[in-house]
Structure 1
Amino acid sequence: MTTIAIIPARGGSKRIPRKNVKAFHGRPMLAYSIAAAKASGLFDRVVVSTDDDEIMSLARAEGAEVPFVRPAALADDHTTTIAVIQHAIEALRAEGEPVELACCIYATAPFVQARYLQAGHAALLEHPTKSYAFSVTSFPFPVQRAIRLTEEGAVDALYPQYRNTRSQDLEEAYHDAGQFYWGRAEAWLRGDVIFSPASLPVVLPRYLVQDIDTLEDWRRAEYLYGALLAGGEIA
């Protein structure tokens, strides 16, 4: 079974310019995802999908492959992850690679761990009727008790029916951890919906999850990463 890691890393990030190559704790951000993929021992090839020359050079220096250039039409702010993975699978198959499993690993995921990549791989193999297995984590507060800000500058309950429900009586909710997405090649190519019963969860502890979309996110991630290093939680 040919198993490929695909790391999308376009050059045109807007909110944090050049964030895929920006130094994070002394290493380019992209290097963490490549290192975790290689450390897992699961992949026949670790491929970076990019449109950017600097990212290509960095990816190769870190031990990944860049066997194709991502088309400009798939490198804008509106391109979906599924479209990028579909293109990568099709490009690899066109060169003769019989891709059967493909794991999308985001380029800005410095907390991704080889052991959780391995858990996702095992879960997908154990459930042959499922299309995907991806990283999730729990919300730290009951989503049913969320509030919204009104146009008048006041607050209101987003879910009024739960105003008087004890938090311990509410169903725990989870969200996408934004690290990796295992999928069968045919599921990716069909465009099977990821957030659906076709998928399996790989539950991560909340302290290993941090979106990095803004400079505030970046700063928080650096503090968290430093604490995890000091505590021996990550290498």
Structure 2
Amino acid sequence: MKTVAIIPARGGSKRIPRKNIRIFAGKPIIAYSIEAARASGLFDRIIVSTDDEEIAAVAQNLGAEAPFLRPKEIADDFAGTNAVVKHCLQWLETNGFPAQYACCIYATAPFVQAAFLRKGFAKLIESGKAFAFSVTSFPFPVQRALKINSQGLVEPFYPENIFARSQDLEESFHDAGQFYWGRAEAFLTDIVTFSPASVPVILPRHLVQDIDTEEDWERAELMYKAWESAQ
């Protein structure tokens, strides 16, 4: 059984320049993903898929591989994660390492934990499903979400639920943006991840923060430092 971690890390981030190797709480943010993958003890290989030579060098210094530079056609703003994983799996097969299982770990996921990677792999195997990926719960019922209309006034998205009690509404979850376990053939045949082909790996909300803006980054660092001091 061959298992690979694939960490997408392109060089062209616009909202946070050089995001994938920017220093986060003392080290390049990609280090956290590489370290968690190594600590999990699950992977035969840990590969960073990048189009950027500097990112490749940083990844290699941190103990990962960067055996190729990603083609331009899957290195722009519109390249999807599955295309990147698929390319890496195809490259591995061509180069004598046909993997059975792959875990895509985002490069900007400083809260990712080896224990949850192990839990995700166990759920993938036990369920027999195509994928197992990280999710967390919304802190507020999405059924009572509000919008601001074109007149600048407040409207509920779901008027029928606006006066419902929170405890009477179904709990909702969202992608935690950390890791996506999958069978290699599922990635290669483009099975849809956000579907009944997947099982969830539920993370606590204090270990989840999407990082797309400077505000996100600052919030994530504060969360990380608070979490680290509590260990």
Q: Residue 219 of structure 2 aligns with which residue? A: 220
Provide the C-alpha distance between the structure 2 equivalents of 1:112 and 1:160, rounded to a whole number of angstroms: 37
Report SS of the residue matched to 1:124: helix
Report SS of the residue matched to 1:110: coil
The equivalences for 1:1-235 within 5 A come to 1-128=1-128, 130-232=129-231
TM-score using structure 1 length: 0.98
Provide the C-alpha distance between the structure 1 equivalents of 2:119 and 2:66, rounded to a whole number of angstroms: 26
Q: Which amino acid aligns with 1:41?
A: G
Structure 2 residue runs without a partner (length 5+): none
Provide the C-alpha distance between the structure 2 equivalents of 1:101 and 1:91, rounded to a whole number of angstroms: 14
1:95-147, Cα deviation, whole Å (9 max, x unpaired): 0102100000000000000000000000011122x100000000000000000
Q: Which amino acid aligns with 2:41?
A: G
Report SS of the residue matched to 1:79: coil
TM-score using structure 2 length: 0.99
Report SS of the residue matched to 2:151: coil
Report SS of the residue matched to 1:99: coil
Report how far residue 24 of structure 1 moved: 0.3
Report how far residue 163 of structure 1 moved: 1.6
1:143-178, Cα deviation, whole Å (9 max, x unpaired): 000000010010000111112211110000000000
Structure 1 residue runs without a partner (length 5+): none
Q: Runs (4+) of structure 1 moved beyond 3 Å? A: none
Report how far residue 16 of structure 1 moved: 0.1
What RMSD over aligned residues (CA atoms) do the two structures have, in Å?
A: 0.5
Q: Which amino acid aligns with 1:221?
A: A
Provide the C-alpha distance between the structure 2 equivalents of 1:78 and 1:185, rounded to a whole number of angstroms: 22
Provide the C-alpha distance between the structure 2 equivalents of 1:98 and 1:20, rounded to a whole number of angstroms: 27
Provide the C-alpha distance between the structure 2 equivalents of 1:98 and 1:89, rounded to a whole number of angstroms: 7
The aligned length equals 231
